Amino acid sequence: MYTPQNVIGYVHEKLPEFFDKGAQLKASELSDGNINFVFRVEDPAAGKSLIIKHAEDTLRVNPARHIGFARSRIECEVLKLQRQYCPELIPEVYLYDAAEHNIVMEDMKGYENLRYELCEHKMFPNLAEDMAEFCGKALIGTTDMIVGAEKKKDLVDRYTNPKLCEITERHVLTEPYYEDLDDNGVTPENDEFMRTWIYGSEELHAKVGMLKALFETKSQALIHGDLHTGSIFVTPDKTCILDPEFAFYGPIGYDTGNFIANMIFAYANGLYTMEDGEDKETYLAWVLGVIEEFCDKFIEKAKQLMREKSTDRQMQSELFFDAYLTDIFKDQAGFAGTELIRRVVGTSGVRDIKGIEDEEAKAKAERLCMTAGMKFILEPETMASGRDYVEYLKTFRMVYDLND
């Protein structure tokens, strides 16, 4: 078992040249997730540090649940590949120790967890641009049209990730729609609404079933697989994307939809926790702007890469590009919907919603997320642009306020 005490010896053994000889090293555990152990080893005098991410065979929160070690190798390789596409957005990997299931990587010291920052209603002017850069290059860059069909099939095999995909298929795309859990997660005020429209909707279940089938079968690109704001770290002007251990070849819209949904959590938190006034309106306008700008710039960057790099002559026309991106946006809306619902209904809540102390405000935030989630799943074709999300959220706010 790794501890802050023994990881220092590990660093001396595996990376003897990283720190100065005789440096007085300190180690601390940073882990706050459900799966892995994360440690920082640093030389405070020199201001130098690194991160060790250690994988066990079982879940930290459930030692009886075996998930294997393949995710560690996949995460390391995907980080290296994503860094080729977006070097400024991905940390450098110094070492992968297959025997110990450790990734030793750059410490993004000075960066903060985006989810925590958004819950403080902080704004980041480059966020939309950076996330569009990542999705437009790292996702589109691993499709058939860019890497070639034969190579992509080899990559699909290499990055098959069944243990972690099963977690998504169960916790995101199954459990939130059935009365299987002792605690369904919602406030009492929303319990009847949730049981009627989520547990009780055969149409919704069918649509989510189709999204689950899509997730299981659409090997479109090497996706991050868990692209929420807790996997994104920021400074006032920089962005870093971490933790692609759920990566596999899946639908691009799963990643882009998850990012949009998590910005909607930030919107709901701001809408129902901030005091009315200029600061609130400025923050909400910024969040909506991120959603719209992200969608617009993702299209722009995706098309630019496809124009420059597509190797298939049937995949080189503007008509093809438009059709391809329209298909992604349909998937994106559906998966944004499943993320919105599963973070409210079930066991995987987010600080943006679950951390709201006022129960009435929390109930309103839940209702926004569930209602938007159902809309996006049932009518994905209505969310064909970033502007469509913005107009929907503005209309929801206006109607809800009138009826409140």
Helix (H, G, I), strand (E, B) or coil at 211: helix
In DSSP terms, 41 is beta-bridged to 27, 50
Q: Are 257 and 86 in contact (CB under 8 A)?
A: no
At residue 282, the pLDDT reads 98
Q: Are 194 and 370 in contact (CB under 8 A)?
A: yes
- Helix (H) / strand (E) containing 403: helix 386-403
Instruction: Please give the DSSP secondary-structure letter assigned to residue 50.
Output: E
At residue 323, the pLDDT reads 98
| CA atoms within a 13 Å half-sphere pointing along the CA-CB vector of 308 | 10
At residue 340, the pLDDT reads 98
- pLDDT tens-digit series, residues 27-72: 999 876 667 899 999 999 999 999 999 998 877 667 777 888 899 9
Q: Are 338 and 369 in contact (CB under 8 A)?
A: no
- Is it true that 4-106 and 112-403 share their CATH fold? no
- Name the nearest CA neighbour of 119 among 294, 354, 340, 291: 354
- Helix (H) / strand (E) containing 36: none
What are the residue ranges spanned by the domains of the chain?
4-106, 112-403
Per CATH, the number for 112-403 is 3.90.1200.10
- Helix (H) / strand (E) containing 41: strand 37-43
Residues with Cβ within 8 Å of residue 69, at least 6 apart in sequence: 55, 57, 101
Per CATH, the number for 4-106 is 3.30.200.20
At residue 185, the pLDDT reads 86
For the chain, residues with pLDDT lower than 50 are none
At residue 402, the pLDDT reads 63
Instruction: Report how many helices (DSSP H) and strands (DSSP E) the chain contains, helices first.
Output: 15, 10
